[in-house]
């Protein structure tokens, strides 16, 4: 049984997850699911950070992931509060109807 797998497999998985996050960002119409897609993209980037940290035997890559997690936690708190505020004002979470900043 193969016991060593190439680092690039982890990186490819990370790229696929990131792409799925971008697709979700584009096709989903519910604001809260769009927000989940952003979390998916952050997670994909975290995976490549950990892979590179392992690749070069560095601790700093993992520390970056820690900081990304903290920023994601703060972002989730503020973002969900904004979602609640938007829902109160508009009574909808459909991104097609929340287009104040649309050109």
Partner 1 sequence: MHLVLFLIFAAFCLAGAINLLLQTHPINSALSLIVVMSSLAVLYLLLGAEFLAAAQIIVYAGAIMVLFTFVVMLLNVGVEEKTHGSKVAKAIGFPAVVVVLGVISTVILQAEKHLGVVNLSDKITTTQELSKVLFTDLLLPFELTSVLILIAILGAVALARKDGGQ
Footprint on residues 20-39 left by partner 1 (CB under 8 A)? 20-24, 26-30, 32-33, 35-37, 39
44's CB contacts (< 8 A; 6+ apart) are 14, 15, 16, 17, 18, 21
Shortest Å distance, C-beta 63 to partner 1: 6
Residues 61-90 that bind partner 1 (CB under 8 A): 62-63, 65-67, 69-78, 80-85, 87-88
According to CB under 8 A, which one of 1, 98, 100, 101 is a site residue for partner 1?
Answer: 1
Identify which of residues 87 and 100 has a Cβ nearer to partner 1 in the complex. Answer: 87
Backbone angles phi, psi at 42, to 5 degrees: -60, -40
Q: What is the DSSP string of 28-39?
A: --BHHHHHHHHH
């Amino acid at each position: 049984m193969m016991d060593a797998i190439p680092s690039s497999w982890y990186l490819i998985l990370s790229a696929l997850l990131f792409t799925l996050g971008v697709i979700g960002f584009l096709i989903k119409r519910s604001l809260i699911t769009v927000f989940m897609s952003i979390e998916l993209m952050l997670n994909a980037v975290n995976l490549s950070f950990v892979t590179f940290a392992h690749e070069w035997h560095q601790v700093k890559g993992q520390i970056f992931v820690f900081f990304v997690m903290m920023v994601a936690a703060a972002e989730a708190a503020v973002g969900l509060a904004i979602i609640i505020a938007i829902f109160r004002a508009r009574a909808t979470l459909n991104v097609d109807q929340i287009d104040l900043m649309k050109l």
